[in-house]
Amino acid sequence: MLNALSHLKKTSKNSSNPPSKGQKANKKPPAKKKTRKPRTQGNNGRSLDPNPSQTVVARAKTCPHCGETVNPQHLHATYDKIEIPPVQPIVTRVEQYGGHCPHCHKNYVSPVPADVGAGSTFW
């Protein structure tokens, strides 16, 4: 007669196998890798500005390899080179005068025009 325990699978809990050889707990399946679209050259992303500040036309006068004249030429690429100019602050100096009234004997400060507004102080 066969041993009643002979049909059980041996694990690290019921045998001399080390715990590292035992069955591992169920884990989440590995997340799928996010795939990126390959970067492409040319105008495949952002649309061109409808009103560029200037347009540069780059045509070859001669072949860069052999030096011979090349004609006709076709448009190979169009792109916008965007440059942001440096930020320049607009500084308005306000000279606000005041004094002491000889008639009512009170101190006063001249009002600032409304379009200038109150000042701010940067220390």
Tokens representing 112 are: 């600032």
Q: Is pLDDT at 37 greater than 60 in this prediction?
A: no
Model confidence pLDDT, tens digit, residues 68-106: 999 899 999 999 999 999 999 888 888 999 999 999 999
Q: What is the pTM of this model?
A: 0.39
Could you tell me which residues are beta bridge partners of residue 99? 108
